[in-house]
Structure 1
Amino acid sequence: MIYFCCDRRRREAVRGTSLNGIDFVEVLDRAAAVPQDRQRFLHLHLVNAPNGLVLDADNIRLEGGAAVEVICVTMGLDGQTNVVVIELAQPGDFSPYTLNIVTSTLNPAPPTSFDPVLSSITFSFKVECPTPFDCLSDCDCPDDPALDTDIDYTARDFHSFRRMMLDHMAIASPSFATGHPADLSSALVDILAYTADQIAYQQDAAQTEAYLHHARSRISLSRLTRIVDYAVDEGCNARCFCHLSVSSDVLPMAPSTVVVPQGSAVCTRLNEQPVTFARDDALLMKSRAVYETCHDVAGLFAAHNEMLFYTWSDARCHLPRGATQATLAGHLPDLDAGMYLAIEEITGANTGNHADAVIDHRHVVLLTETQAFDEGGDPLTDPVTGDEITLIHWHARDALRAPVCVSSETSIEEGRRYIEPVSVARGNMVLVDHGQTLSNETLPSVPEPYLAWAPGKGREAIQRKSGNCAETGCEPRQAELLPPRYQPHLAYAPLTFSPDYFAQSETIAASDVLRTPIPADTYPNIALQSDDGMETLSYEPVRDILASDSAARVFKPEVERDGAVSLRFGDNVFGRRPLSGTAFLATYRVGIGSAGHIGADKLHHLALALPEVTAVRNITAGAGGRNPETNANIRKRAPFLFKTQERAVTREDYKTLGQRLAWIQAVSCAYVHTGSWITTFALPDPKDRVGMLDEQRTELRHHYEKYRLAAHDVEVSTPVYVPLEITLHVCLAKNASKSHVQQVLLKLFSAKRLTNGRLGLLHPDQFRAGQTLHLSPLIAAAQNVEGVIAAKATRFRRFGDPRTSGLSERKLKFSRTEIARVDNDMSHPGNGVFLLDMEGGR
């Protein structure tokens, strides 16, 4: 099961039926007759009487923690026929265990007489161990953490400053930043942005296009920075997921056709226009934003407009964070892998009002597996209720980033009303990205040459001089015509740059699609058709004409600071020069950057004659857009590109280059002369984990091969993790709750990532190889907790070694290859322990 439900009603649904299931498990602990039998006997209570069913050791499977062997299984206990006594060889550890009822040792499926939902149960052998905490779990849907705005410290012009200030004020003081031009707040922001722009302009005053720091033209900056292999960022368009609601199924007329082809336009609301209409580019330009579909849609289905989640007779359920599967109510055979599915909250979980639905509680996932039929080819059903269901799985990279409420109960103030559904699933999803296609724009023809070199001068004359008289035939000198400069401009701007979403695969996870791509993965959306009077040829855009040969039909779009686009062609040395009189037709898209960052539910029209479509709206807000790089940013970044060290010479070089791998947070290096040469021993410290895999060690070694010096070997060492013993004596105030303070301290001194995104003080990323661990920061962190009067350490040493106590020096030292470790796992104390000695409080 993937739901966490507070009201367990499945047992009541099974009770009295022909199926059986697990009611609960009782661990015989303190009530055992002899101490040796404690935690060795399990009493498995069934929902219904077994009625001839006999379970043996082959039908019981225990998973989790240390392996536990089942000795024997006995049916019935003291006249209770629905109790199964399970004898184990030894008790389990502190880890959670799962007891499964299986058909046999070779068949993990539950017996046919058992309900598949109640065929397994999770329990703990240490349930009777004393604990100061309340075991009742919180059933309310957790709130999302508050988001903060990112401040762009590289802003260098008026619009960037203004946008950054408005974005910050929208979060810091929502009532202040209204965004209306005539509002006092907007006037103040404009004045501050203007002042900041003037200061930036004085620092980067333009003098001449020949120097990087004085050039005013963005095209000049792009060409100058090409000398140091710097590629100017032209930006990227935004994208979102759009939902198409239909009144009836829309299927293609032929197998090779689609109902919504790639490139179909969707736009924001237009007055007095229906939801769907025939495409009209002039009409689309009147809308706030135009998006176009990024892939074909083979069919639209009315059943996919709104799909309910199936909760298996339970109530007050939610999909937890990280879930990658769910169950939908109903038979949905047209729901296939490769489709995008949206999960949307449609009503407030606490109030039951549709207006209280949180827009941020929307998720889009890529389906990887669906199951609507059973093994016999019949619709999949719940074996208890007989309701038709459909099982779905989605991509692991689309795991839910926040819980999704499926059903809930209102607060006391709202009358404790049961609400279902809170969230629904929606199909008929299509990925759309910002930008409007303009087709067949006529560009000026290539002009005829009107200038010429003096006789005997020019490129051809120089080549002729290099040959002998027999080759040249003593030809008379003729004037060589100068080819004209041909750089046509596009009529509309800004030109769209977008990634190739499906270059590697036909499907891509929704989270990867919405992520902002790097500049190297974006391409200009433009194509040219040339007609020189004899043939029609196509020209393709490239990033750099210098990488093309003399016959390549390529061109490069160059973007000025105001967004105007000019096209640069080759010169018959690097790229082919178009012949004089050649006419060009351009097809391109316009729309770039943050202009496409529209809010959710803003798209309203589909520019396609499809009357079955009754509603169009974007489930997610426009995201992933990036504005073109400004002149100030180019001047800042380009001069430092060639200074990037691409050769490992010093230990610092090995540390810096090693951290380019995403899984490494730090690298420590040592030079050792091994007899004939020097070997660098690199010791990586992985992120978010303890230990390093062999594949990671091999990856780092191959990574260093590109940068190491000749006759200089590199070896990757494995860090040695040193477990510690830390005990703090904490004095509490009289009115402080001992259990509450203890819980706060254990959360603060945990080895996990906290719910607010911060790391626990004992998280593996808090320790470095060879780092000296000081005691004072730990004491200070404990004393800052509310309710703590004083704290002191009574044990601070390596695990099981009293000789290494660091209480006197207030610190522990480690060698270069050692990393401290405190997992504080009661099942594995050898990985480090952290204990609290509480005094006082209530």
Structure 2
Amino acid sequence: MGIQFRCANVRRAQVLGTSAIPLNGIDFLEVLDQDAPPGVPRQRTLLVQMIKPAPWGLSALNVRIDGGVRVTGIRVVWVLRAADASPADVAAGLITPAERSFYNGLPAADRTLVVRVNQAGDFSPYTFRLVRSPTDPAPPTGFDPVLSMVEFSFKVDCPAEFDCAPDQPCPPQPATNPPIDYLARDYASLRQMLFDRLAVVAPDWRERNPADLGVAIVEGLAYIGDYLSYYQDAVATEAYLDTARRRVSLRRHARLLDYVPHDGANARTWVQVQVTAPLTLPANTPLLTRVGGAPVRILPDSPELALARQQRPLVFETMHEARLFPAHNQMTVYTWGDEGCCLPVGSTQATLRGDLSATLRPGDVLVFIERRHPQTGYRADADPQRRHAVRLTRVIAASDPLGGQFADPPTADPVAVTDIEWLAADALPFVLDLRDVAVPADDRDESGEAYQPASVVLGNIVLADHGETLPAEQLPAVRDPLRYRPVLSRTGITFTAPFDPAEHTIPATRLVSDTQPPATLPAITLTSPAGLWRPVPDLLGSNRFQTEFVAELEQDGRLYLRFGDDRNGRAPASAEPLVAHYRVGCGTIGNIGADALAHIVTAESGIQQVRNPLPARGGSEPESSAAIRQYAPQAFRRQERAVTPADYAVMAERHPDVQRAVATRRWTGSWYTIFITVDRRGGLPVDAGFETDLRIFLERYRMAGQDIEIDGPIYVALDLAFIVCVEPGYFAANVKAALLERFSPRTFFHPDNFTFGQPLYLSQIVAAVMAIPGVRWIDTAGGSGKPTRFQRWGQASRGELAKGQIDVGRREIIRCDTDPNRPEHGRIEFIMEGGQ
């Protein structure tokens, strides 16, 4: 240890020498110079006098000499006690006879330690230390920690003009600072404070003319202080979530709370491109909303495009390459010669007229649309809500040998047809009328047909999103790579969700409506000699070789780019040229209505019409600062890790297709497995595709060492029968039909109305029956000879009727489809009495 303080009277050595404390220490150190015996090298022998007799066993390994400027690394050659110098040391060549006599004759030879070093030091101070070993700097056993070291100089006997006694007074007290008013932070108060200070240090200067140089300097310093005070306050304001004003600061504070503020999302829509000849439409083809006087197809860099842009249309761009065929412009559903047909709710298959198997593929998107009103026949009266996009999963060519007619023998040639199927998630949500309707003469198209189908199928469907690609922009030069924060010149940068054109398992409805703003990234890429730079949510997972950056949106819509530091993400090199390629156009303004897009900018010929049969959806604005302040502090309360079985059930219910889930933890031999039973919305089956999707969804929540197994619910089929009395004046058959419709799987027993562990109460049945017009009363009493039943199908009664409810287990869901082909799926019967 070193002395950290200075004292006027050092008493420690005195106390140690006069007490019985078993500690030794260094009293003083003398360098043999002019008094050295003949033949002894000068300034290389140190005489270290101890307070008490020097102990035995000290060697060169117990001595360390530090310090020096020109001469460093002084090494100890040998160490011996002065009283122990013997003829053997002379015979070994360590000392001379004269030295032996000199050491033995010292006044305190038993307390003196003789140390020989390999060279003499310079004029700088050195430190002599006694240590336990070269690797242990602690003092040897029995030595005082303070007095085991001493500072000395090899040149103490050199001629000097000054007193050799060191002067080490205590440092003076620091001067008191002048009084400063720390509340002076604006220009006026800082100016007055400087003048007050000058009145103290320069009382003779009294000039206050604004033109005076001294006044100008004071006012300049006051201005700088005012600016720095504002900057200091601004920095302090940005340090807290509640007071921060910049969106970048709010975003970073929120990320510390595990909350990711979203920067908005652009809208998407399905676009139909009608063509007169087969062609391939490239990706990123611009589409414009309707402008007056412009043709459907506008050539790039043409005067028509310049005139159209003057009307400021919204720009959409296709998101993938598309193959377009004239046969797909408009297709009709083939009814096999039947009349008055329709596609019911929940349909997932249909038949199209004509052989389209060569051009129509699984993964293509079709749009079912009501083209004319089924009653009036006018196109203007068609319901715009009866439009639905589906993604095909199966396309098979077939034929109708009867040609759509029923003459015997057939009088028409076979008709080629195409059977199509689409994803269950894209099931038809409404009834689509397939009848041919009479077309009024004033609303007939170019064909002039008097009868046309009420509904048609549109092909050549392309997914497009809001945003316009701008010319490349050169970013400012890189001067300081670690502080490089360029800003793009345009505002309103497009934020879009990831899209994979090769992924054909995502339903068409989800591609447009299920855009999650927190998952969006800016549509920006950078190019440089280092390669392509891509945006990422953060750089925590980036290594020092990855060319990635983070885009941070400010309140005014400007976008700042933040790069890595060569540890988390690569930093751009000095003077590295960076070129930005990006799109603009985002937010709710892109949620345009149906048939708003009408123009395409391309050099491809053969395009006849462009339209979006469905409205654009998914466009959202960036999250406001108030919303970030409100929701970010609650983010940590949302659990993002599944630990218990109840946690796994809650995480599974976050999936958009899951209505309810229950989980069970079981030991499967070597580890624990979480068995999750899922109730899908709409009663859809828990198939292999859904299991894979849900397993991927739960992976971010799963605990290490726990497997996940997913299965469907256990359905409890019901066996119900009741006697219903019908009011006079009502037909019993009509009332019974209304009752069966009320208790069908589409209404009362809809799969979404019941879930795990939810019982069925008899009072629910009674209330629903009594609400049907024409019902006088319902008999729910049981007894001998009565047909009333209220129990599980295929099982003996357990007293459910008397109890008034049918209980189910935690993994069970009631079912009552009333399908005569599948009585094991449950049934309900009504025995009608009275009425007509």
- The equivalent of 2:549 in structure 1 is 555
> Residue 268 of structure 1 contacts residue 288 of structure 1 at CA under 8 Å; is this kept in 2?
yes
1:776 maps onto 2:804 in alignment: no
- The one-letter code matched in structure 1 to 2:412 is T
1:739 maps onto 2:729 in alignment: no
1:75-122 C-alpha deviation (Å, 9 max, x unpaired): xxxxxxxxxxxxxxxxxxxxxxxxxxxxxxxxxxxxxxxxxxxxxxxx
Q: Matches of 1:667 and 1:560 in 2, distance apart?
A: 41
1:148-199 C-alpha deviation (Å, 9 max, x unpaired): xxxxxxxxxxxxxxxxxxxxxxxxxxxxxxxxxxxxxxxxxxxxxxxxxxxx
1:788-842 C-alpha deviation (Å, 9 max, x unpaired): 3333412434557776324444345556666555444445556544332333333
1:743-778 C-alpha deviation (Å, 9 max, x unpaired): 22222233x133xxxxx1x45555555555433233
> Residue 365 of structure 1 contacts residue 394 of structure 1 at CA under 8 Å; is this kept in 2?
no
- The equivalent of 1:210 in structure 2 is 239
Q: Matches of 2:734 and 2:273 in 1, distance apart?
A: 50
Q: Matches of 2:439 and 2:559 in 1, distance apart?
A: 58
1:490 to 488, 491, 501: 488
1:222 maps onto 2:254 in alignment: no
1:598 maps onto 2:592 in alignment: yes
Q: Matches of 1:607 and 1:565 in 2, distance apart?
A: 28
1:391 to 412, 418, 435: 418
Q: Matches of 1:538 and 1:651 in 2, distance apart?
A: 44
How far the C-alpha of 1:684 sits from its partner, in A, is 5.9
- The equivalent of 2:464 in structure 1 is 432
1:334-368 C-alpha deviation (Å, 9 max, x unpaired): 55555544444332221122322333333444455
Q: Matches of 2:762 and 2:653 in 1, distance apart?
A: 28
1:291 to 294, 304, 316: 316
**Distance change in 2, residues 1:517/1:504 (3 Å):** farther
- The equivalent of 1:59 in structure 2 is none
**Distance change in 2, residues 1:560/1:370 (3 Å):** same
**Distance change in 2, residues 1:236/1:724 (3 Å):** same
How far the C-alpha of 1:435 sits from its partner, in A, is 0.6
Count of residue pairs the alignment pairs up? 576
- The equivalent of 2:150 in structure 1 is none
2:297 to 255, 276, 281: 276
1:524 maps onto 2:511 in alignment: no
- The one-letter code matched in structure 2 to 1:405 is D
1:241 to 270, 273, 284: 270
1:263 maps onto 2:284 in alignment: yes
- The one-letter code matched in structure 2 to 1:211 is Y
- The equivalent of 1:787 in structure 2 is 774
How far the C-alpha of 1:286 sits from its partner, in A, is 3.8
> Residue 398 of structure 2 contacts residue 418 of structure 2 at CA under 8 Å; is this kept in 1?
no
1:640 maps onto 2:621 in alignment: no
1:326 to 335, 346, 351: 351
**Distance change in 2, residues 1:797/1:301 (3 Å):** closer
How far the C-alpha of 1:539 sits from its partner, in A, is 2.1
- The one-letter code matched in structure 2 to 1:490 is L
Q: What is the DSSP-based 3-state SS (H/G/I as helix, E as strand, rest coil) of the residue aligned with 1:556? A: strand
- The one-letter code matched in structure 1 to 2:420 is H
- The equivalent of 1:180 in structure 2 is none
1:302-321 C-alpha deviation (Å, 9 max, x unpaired): 45444455544444444444
Higher gyration radius (CA):
2
Q: Matches of 1:620 and 1:695 in 2, distance apart?
A: 28
> Residue 406 of structure 1 contacts residue 420 of structure 1 at CA under 8 Å; is this kept in 2?
no
**Distance change in 2, residues 1:637/1:836 (3 Å):** same
1:242-288 C-alpha deviation (Å, 9 max, x unpaired): 23334x4255xxxxxx5x32212110233443332332486547433
How far the C-alpha of 1:647 sits from its partner, in A, is 5.0
How far the C-alpha of 1:669 sits from its partner, in A, is 6.6
Q: Tell me, which stretches of 5 or more residues in structure 1 are unaligned?
A: 1-205, 252-257, 450-482, 755-759
Q: Matches of 2:299 and 2:439 in 1, distance apart?
A: 48
How far the C-alpha of 1:289 sits from its partner, in A, is 0.8
1:362 maps onto 2:387 in alignment: yes
- The one-letter code matched in structure 1 to 2:733 is S
Q: Matches of 1:340 and 1:719 in 2, distance apart?
A: 32
Q: What is the DSSP-based 3-state SS (H/G/I as helix, E as strand, rest coil) of the residue aligned with 1:641? A: helix
Q: Matches of 2:693 and 2:360 in 1, distance apart?
A: 39
Q: Matches of 2:670 and 2:388 in 1, distance apart?
A: 59
- The one-letter code matched in structure 1 to 2:284 is G
**Distance change in 2, residues 1:285/1:499 (3 Å):** farther
**Distance change in 2, residues 1:726/1:325 (3 Å):** closer
Q: Matches of 2:648 and 2:506 in 1, distance apart?
A: 35
Q: What is the DSSP-based 3-state SS (H/G/I as helix, E as strand, rest coil) of the residue aligned with 1:638? A: helix
TM-score (structure 1 length as normaliser): 0.58
Q: Matches of 1:345 and 1:749 in 2, distance apart?
A: 30
How far the C-alpha of 1:680 sits from its partner, in A, is 8.6
- The one-letter code matched in structure 2 to 1:395 is W
How far the C-alpha of 1:371 sits from its partner, in A, is 6.2
Q: Matches of 1:790 and 1:573 in 2, distance apart?
A: 78
Q: Matches of 1:632 and 1:239 in 2, distance apart?
A: 27
1:624-659 C-alpha deviation (Å, 9 max, x unpaired): 333333333333433333333355565643542453
Q: Matches of 2:458 and 2:706 in 1, distance apart?
A: 58
1:402 maps onto 2:396 in alignment: no
Q: Matches of 2:700 and 2:471 in 1, distance apart?
A: 46
Alignment of 1:459-470 (within 5 A): none
Q: Tell me, which stretches of 5 or more residues in structure 2 are unaligned?
A: 1-234, 443-448, 782-787
Q: Matches of 1:823 and 1:373 in 2, distance apart?
A: 33
1:505 maps onto 2:541 in alignment: no
Q: Matches of 1:837 and 1:696 in 2, distance apart?
A: 41
**Stretch of structure 1 that moved more, 674-683 or 554-563:** 674-683
The alignment's C-alpha RMSD in Å is 4.6
Q: What is the DSSP-based 3-state SS (H/G/I as helix, E as strand, rest coil) of the residue aligned with 1:776? A: helix
How far the C-alpha of 1:526 sits from its partner, in A, is 0.8
**Distance change in 2, residues 1:292/1:691 (3 Å):** closer
- The equivalent of 1:172 in structure 2 is none
> Residue 267 of structure 1 contacts residue 287 of structure 1 at CA under 8 Å; is this kept in 2?
no
Alignment of 1:94-173 (within 5 A): none
Q: What is the DSSP-based 3-state SS (H/G/I as helix, E as strand, rest coil) of the residue aligned with 2:626? A: helix
Q: Matches of 1:614 and 1:651 in 2, distance apart?
A: 58
Q: Matches of 1:335 and 1:693 in 2, distance apart?
A: 26
2:538 to 516, 522, 544: 544
Identity of aligned residues (%): 36
- The one-letter code matched in structure 1 to 2:527 is Q
- The equivalent of 1:443 in structure 2 is 475
Alignment of 1:62-101 (within 5 A): none
Q: What is the DSSP-based 3-state SS (H/G/I as helix, E as strand, rest coil) of the residue aligned with 2:470? A: strand
> Residue 356 of structure 2 contacts residue 418 of structure 2 at CA under 8 Å; is this kept in 1?
no
Q: What is the DSSP-based 3-state SS (H/G/I as helix, E as strand, rest coil) of the residue aligned with 2:780? A: strand
Q: Matches of 1:713 and 1:514 in 2, distance apart?
A: 33
- The equivalent of 1:165 in structure 2 is none
Q: Matches of 1:808 and 1:269 in 2, distance apart?
A: 67
- The one-letter code matched in structure 2 to 1:213 is D
2:606 to 605, 612, 622: 612
- The one-letter code matched in structure 1 to 2:300 is R
How far the C-alpha of 1:291 sits from its partner, in A, is 0.8
